[in-house]
Amino acid sequence: MPDAVKVGFVAFPAATRGVLVVFCDDALKYGAETRKALGTAADTLKRAAAANQFKGKSASTLDMPAPEGIKAERLIVVGLGKVADIEEKDFLRFGGVTAGKLNAASTVVTIIAELPDGAMPADAAAAIASGIRLRAYRFDRYKTKKKEGESETLRADVSLAVGDVAAARKAFAPASHVVDGVIMARELVNEPPNILYPVEFARRASQLRKLGVDVEVLDVPAMKKLGMGALLGVAQGSTQPGRTVIMRWHGGKKGDQPVAFVGKGVCFDTGGISIKGAASMEDMKGDMGGAACVVGLMHALAARKAKVNVVGAIGLVENMPDGNAQRPGDIVTSMSGQTIEIINTDAEGRLVLADVLWYVAKKFKPKFMVDLATLTGAIMVALGTEYAGMFSNNDELSERLSRAGNETGERVWRMPLGPEYDKLIDSKFADVKNAGVRNGGSITAAQFLQRFVDNTPWAHLDIAGTAMGAPNTDINHSWGSGYGVRLLERLVAEHYEAKK
């Protein structure tokens, strides 16, 4: 969906047209350029702040018709809080709350991007711009009529006035590619399942070729040949054939071990023969949130020409109940050779991932693998929608992910693994079973995956609570959140890229 909000940078002094946006700290202090732009309106502004009990708290806003003395039509003050306490992710929020204030009448917007005590760092200005784009995204492709009260489409041109335009543009160029990746992931999650089935998903992932990504699509005969019996067992109940897509970005040195990302791509999860209840089943169109993240991440890394070799792999299936669907009691043979007893056909994500993880571990011998999956309802019981669950066999990778999570605001919380949990998925008839008891359901799911990573440093992110349907935030009002793109892009940028 093309962005209806365009964001760019201009030099001081800022033109004060349309909507004027300025920042102040928690002492209602403004920067020099802002004071210049406000001129005699500063006094009215002070009274408006008092009357509205606006105290400049972080991400709070004061919104009013522009007072006498400014040529703009509307003035929005965004609070920065205490400047010393501002973290990187706060700048995203400042952009987000600004975009949240815009409406169909806000066609021209000027933001005076400075701090009370001086210039705003280029990274911070870029983060504000990113926050604007993230918040402005909407998924309304299938709405042919606007209901009364639903706001009309935004068509805004937003300019951030900064001291150093070149530096801000340079900082925003890669950041904007990351935003594109997030929006791509959101789109895929939001799309309905009759439109976005495995073959169509693979086609969309193939468009990454335009950025120089190698994309290989494995069809059913190819997967049969590889022995991917676990993934194919899930796919066999649908008239839509499954696919595995391997995306490779060669931005590092030739022969350098790649990093790898693996996504669960269940385009729709009915539960199969162990069918789900009707309540909220429509949400299971988002059961490909892990795969969507991997595609968005590959986009971000390739578009900003990341200096690293990356493998992205996604297993795409539809989990349906029909005459050919697999049954509880079936035993399938995975690519690893391990046999799996199907206890519950609704525990399908781990079956898909088992074969894709194994394939990636063996074929690419990556430095590490991170998989993302909307894997269990149980992770939502444990962590709600604030943190994704993280399970890992590697402390260094876990710590790096935790740090990237805190920085980006896409947080992860480490959960336990261990032999006591692992034995809960030993099967009476096969090597392993695909479901344990109800208690500790997210952990036994992770234990299952671990049996298919073969000592590769690995982390599993259970994103059932964070990929879709989470409450709106300052930087997201869409059902699909695009969770994980910013987190993993940061992980790569901080630890695995050759320095320029």
> Which stretches of the chain bind Mn ion, using CB under 5 A?
269, 346, 348
- The piece of 131-139, 237-245, 279-287, 396-404 that touches Zn ion (CB under 5 A) is 279-287
Q: Among residues 18, 95, 441, 482, which is the contact residue for ligand BES, using CB under 6 A?
A: 441
**C-alpha to C-alpha distances, 185 to 176, 197, 267, 313, 465, nearest whole angstrom:** 14, 15, 13, 15, 16
Contacts of 351 (CB under 8 A, 6+ apart): 230, 231, 233, 234, 332, 334, 340, 342, 434
State which residue, 310 or 379, has the beta carbon closest to Mn ion.
379
Helix, strand, or coil (residue 52): coil
Task: Tell me: does residue 269 bind ligand BES (CB under 6 A).
Answer: yes
Calpha distance 436→331 (Å, rounded): 16
Residues 51-70 binding ligand BES (CB under 6 A) are: none
State which residue, 344 or 393, has the beta carbon closest to ligand BES.
344
Among the options 55, 276, 307, 414, which is catalytic? 276
Task: Tell me: does residue 412 bind ligand BES (CB under 6 A).
Answer: no
**C-alpha to C-alpha distances, 49 to 98, 109, 245, nearest whole angstrom:** 17, 21, 54
Task: Tell me: does residue 347 bind ligand BES (CB under 6 A).
Answer: yes
Q: Among residues 25, 287, 341, 422, which is the contact residue for ligand BES, using CB under 6 A?
A: 287
If binding means CB under 5 A, how many residues of this protein chain bind Zn ion?
4
Contacts of 194 (CB under 8 A, 6+ apart): none
Q: Among residues 122, 182, 213, 435, which is the contact residue for ligand BES, using CB under 6 A?
A: 435
Q: Among residues 25, 33, 90, 269, which is the contact residue for Zn ion, using CB under 5 A?
A: 269
* 499 belongs to the catalytic site: no
Task: Tell me: does residue 34 bind ligand BES (CB under 6 A).
Answer: no
Among the options 93, 135, 350, 433, which is catalytic? 350
Smallest separation (angstroms) from Mn ion to the CB of 474: 32
Task: Tell me: does residue 349 bind ligand BES (CB under 6 A).
Answer: yes
State which residue, 154 or 267, has the beta carbon closest to ligand BES.
267
Smallest separation (angstroms) from ligand BES to the CB of 284: 6
Contacts of 52 (CB under 8 A, 6+ apart): 62
Smallest separation (angstroms) from ligand BES to the CB of 318: 12
Helix, strand, or coil (residue 7): strand
Task: Tell me: does residue 384 bind ligand BES (CB under 6 A).
Answer: no
In this structure, what token pair is assigned to residue 385? 């929608």
DSSP string, 263-312: EEEEEEE--TTSPPPSTTGGGGGGTTHHHHHHHHHHHHHHHTT-SSEEEE
The residue ranges of DSSP E strands in 17-172, in sequence order, are 19-24, 61-65, 74-79, 108-112, 114-115, 118-119, 156-162
State which residue, 337 or 377, has the beta carbon closest to Mn ion.
377
Calpha distance 75→344 (Å, rounded): 57
In this structure, what token pair is assigned to residue 327? 């049954």
* 403 belongs to the catalytic site: no
Query: In Å, how far from its chain's centre is CA 58?
Result: 24
From Zn ion, ligand BES, Mn ion, none, interface partner of 16 (C-beta below 5 to 8 A by class): none
- Please state the φ and ψ torsions of residue 80, each to the nearest 5 degrees: -100, -10
- The piece of 7-15, 330-338, 339-347, 353-361 that touches ligand BES (CB under 6 A) is 339-347
Site string for Zn ion, 346-365 (x = CB under 5 A): ---x----------------
Bridging pattern class, strands 432-433 and 74-79 = unpaired
State which residue, 270 or 309, has the beta carbon closest to ligand BES.
270
Calpha distance 347→345 (Å, rounded): 5
Question: Catalytic site residues?
Answer: 276, 350
Return residues touching ligand BES (CB under 6 A): 269, 287, 344, 346-349, 374-378, 435, 441, 464
Return residues touching Zn ion (CB under 5 A): 266, 269, 287, 349
